[in-house]
Structure 1
Amino acid sequence: MSEPSEWLIYRGAGEPHEGVERLPPPPPWRDFAGRGTTEGGGPDGSADRRLGSNRHMAELHRPGAEELEMINAALYLRRPLLVTGSPGAGKSTLAHSVAHELGLGRVLRWPVVSRSTLLDGLYHYDAIARLQDVQIAAHGGTVAAPGADPTDGIGSYIRLGPLGTALLPSDRPRVLLIDELDKSDIDLPNDLLNVLEEGEFAIPELERIADRLPDGEATVLDNDGNKVAIKGGRVQCSAFPFIVLTSNGERDFPAPLMRRCIHLELGRPDHQRLATFVRAHLGEEAARSGNDLITHFLERSRGELLATDQLLNAIYLTDAAAPAGRDRLADLLIQRLDRPR
């Protein structure tokens, strides 16, 4: 058995060395190599990071009956699915799972923070860049940014956000994850109501000049990086997107939003589900060797707020790098999230 110090890469000795070359491959959920959006909103590396590179090994687990029914209710009714639960319960993963099984392409993701506004999700108009390019062109200079020539039109300065892209007309619905809505400003849930109900929104910058555009259309970039045509300055969906709004339960939402959503509460995962998460990300052997850590995690989670990510981190690190002092290192990684700071 190796000594605990043998797995250390950084030793704090102040002497440069090439120890970083000994780092093993990253955990699958932190592997960003080669990640990129494919044309047409196809799947990218985020699906592997969310669902696990060994997700085919997790097929023995099936979601509970209530979970399946509520997901399908949202699909049938074309309503957003509001998913609540503790951190690491699999709320965000649910969107990726639906997109993967139904072949709906890359999941559009809008991570909400306290400063997020409805406009952030719909589109961004870079008025400053347009003004700068107009000034440069007026003085006989060349526009630095490719495709930013003012003669190309105002659409060159507009990019749709994840929500705006999800509402583009398409034959099949896109999957949109609005992550951690409970982190938002108090106004955002109410601001979302009309867009979620009507499935459309306007871009005033394009509406004002629609009658001067060829066929009333302007070409803008969507969240996938593709050029799309906007007619009349309005975006209206043809297939309502499958929208997953997640919340850690840190606040209550207004009744009008709840009325427009299908609500799914995810409980704490049991031993079988945790083993499935580990199997999907790290393989069968890791699930078997980490069985005791899963049991210990479940015992602690009855009285402490813990996240599944912490369990995956502990099993990966203790299995890959530190066989000695395993339990002590696992406890350092799995610290309660609700402890006083």
Structure 2
Amino acid sequence: MGEWLIYRGVSEPHDGIDELPDPPPWRDFAHDGRLTPFDRTADDGGADRRLPGADAYRADEGTVEAVNTALYLRRPLLVTGDPGVGKSTLAHAVARELKLGQVLRWPVNSKTELRDGLYRYDSLGRLEEAGVARELGTGGGQGAADLGRYVRLGPLGTALAPYALPRVLLIDEIDKCDIDLPNDLLDVFEEGSFEIPELSRVADTQPEVRVRPADDGEAVSVVRGTVRCHAFPFTILTSNGEREFPPAFLRRCVRLHLPAVDDDERLRAIVRAHLPGADGHADAVIARFLRRAASGELATDQLLNAVYLMSRTSGAGAPDLDRLSELVFHHLNVTVPAES
């Protein structure tokens, strides 16, 4: 580990991103167009309640090296591991440490399509306003200059906007996607750009249109219908290992596997981040959690549930630790038989 580290896995924010060297020539997306400012102080600190706080996250050496490899090469980072090992939290930790503002999160499910992440076009809203304008006699059509009002970039589209520094994009649970989505992402990742056909069609009369980003920040300038990044976003794709990905997709990603959290100090840090003041109940629950995890898969949110219950239940009839373990620490890799 040396001076090449941009992300260091420390808790304190710093300006290391300013020292990131130029990208490889084949990953250089820089252009001379107008750059969009964003609020680097919009630090959500991993504000998603389901996640351990980014300020409490501690990355090991392998994780730090993988993050820096992705930063240097301008490649997405595919993070695999069991539920609860900190895959999503890593994105918030990187954003916090490098002062890269709010994480742009794109949750994926079986119905998600590429366009869902890129942009939305409110064609119905545009038609309704045009109809109202005709009825009021204020003009029957909407000019191209107004078209940007009906376009809103998605998380992926916003991440690919022309920012001077990389935005942090979290594509969460990519393994739940339709079979075509990884291949659909390849061109976007390779080109660092995408087209909005609704704006391309009016490019001759309105070559530049301002549209809204997903985070409600500064409007983004779209030139001739194309959103083109300046700094390739730092992109984390998380996977619980529920499916295989095409070789072409894997070849374009830096890969990191996070093992299950089996260290009591790291588990204590997670408990402190979510349940400050519950330390007095944590040690016994963590010890039981680790013993139970030795014989099957558990997630850290199960640990948090147990610590919460232990800290909130007392008095006559309250379950003891043995009973709470039976209620909460169910192995995730055990198939529940179907009811007859």
> With structure 1 as the length reference, what TM-score do the two structures score?
0.79
Inter-partner Cα distance in structure 1 for 2:158 and 2:314: 45
1:2-13 equivalence runs, <5 A: none
Aligned-pair CA distance for 1:142? 8.5
Inter-partner Cα distance in structure 1 for 2:98 and 2:119: 27
**Does 2:299 match 1:310?**
no
Q: Show the counterpart of 1:278.
A: 271
Inter-partner Cα distance in structure 2 for 1:99 and 1:164: 18
Aligned amino acid, residue 208 of structure 2: E
Deviations 1:194-225 (A, max 9, x none): 10111111111101101111xx1112111012
Inter-partner Cα distance in structure 2 for 1:50 and 1:305: 19
Inter-partner Cα distance in structure 1 for 2:45 and 2:129: 35
- 1:124 match: secondary structure: strand
Aligned amino acid, residue 47 of structure 1: A
Candidates 64, 74, 97, aligned match of 2:70: 74
Deviations 1:228-271 (A, max 9, x none): 22111111111111000000000010001100000000101122
Inter-partner Cα distance in structure 1 for 2:95 and 2:47: 9
Asked if the contact 2:148/2:209 (under 8 Å) is kept, the reply is yes
Report the aligned-residue RMSD.
2.3
Q: Show the counterpart of 1:25.
A: none
**Does 2:320 match 1:326?**
yes
Candidates 200, 225, 237, aligned match of 1:233: 225
Inter-partner Cα distance in structure 1 for 2:146 and 2:270: 48
Deviations 1:121-158 (A, max 9, x none): 00011112212221222222789xxxxx9345211111
Aligned amino acid, residue 73 of structure 1: T
- 2:47 match: secondary structure: helix
Aligned amino acid, residue 218 of structure 1: V
Q: Show the counterpart of 2:210.
A: 219
1:1-341 equivalence runs, <5 A: 40=39, 42-44=42-44, 46-47=46-47, 49=49, 52=52, 58=56, 62-140=58-136, 150-151=142-143, 153-213=146-206, 216-226=207-217, 227-270=219-262, 271-283=264-276, 285-322=277-314, 324-327=318-321, 328-341=323-336
Deviations 1:143-199 (A, max 9, x none): 9xxxxx934521111100000000111111100000000000000000000101111
Asked if the contact 1:158/1:220 (under 8 Å) is kept, the reply is yes
- 1:87 match: secondary structure: coil
Inter-partner Cα distance in structure 1 for 2:314 and 2:78: 40
Inter-partner Cα distance in structure 1 for 2:92 and 2:284: 29
Inter-partner Cα distance in structure 2 for 1:300 and 1:197: 44
Inter-partner Cα distance in structure 2 for 1:150 and 1:312: 53
Q: Show the counterpart of 2:16.
A: none
Inter-partner Cα distance in structure 2 for 1:98 and 1:246: 15
Aligned-pair CA distance for 1:318? 1.7
Distance 1:320 1:142, change over 3 A: farther
Which structure carries more helix by proportion?
A: 1
Distance 1:142 1:51, change over 3 A: farther
Aligned amino acid, residue 127 of structure 1: S
- 2:222 match: secondary structure: strand
Aligned-pair CA distance for 1:320? 2.9
Aligned amino acid, residue 219 of structure 1: R
Percent of paired sites with the same residue: 53
Aligned-pair CA distance for 1:287? 3.5
Inter-partner Cα distance in structure 1 for 2:63 and 2:69: 10
Structure 1 residue ranges, 4+ long, deviating more than 6 angstroms after superposition? none
Aligned-pair CA distance for 1:50? 5.9
Asked if the contact 1:205/1:233 (under 8 Å) is kept, the reply is yes
Aligned-pair CA distance for 1:48? 6.6
- 2:75 match: secondary structure: coil
Ranges in structure 1 where 5+ consecutive residues have no aligned partner: 1-38, 144-148
Query: Looking at both structures, which has the greater relative contact order when contacts are Cα pairs under 8 Å and sequence separation is at least 6?
Result: 1
Inter-partner Cα distance in structure 1 for 2:67 and 2:46: 21
Inter-partner Cα distance in structure 2 for 1:269 and 1:193: 32
Asked if the contact 1:70/1:262 (under 8 Å) is kept, the reply is yes
Inter-partner Cα distance in structure 2 for 1:258 and 1:49: 30
Deviations 1:288-309 (A, max 9, x none): 5211111211222223222111
Asked if the contact 1:80/1:242 (under 8 Å) is kept, the reply is yes
Inter-partner Cα distance in structure 2 for 1:51 and 1:76: 27
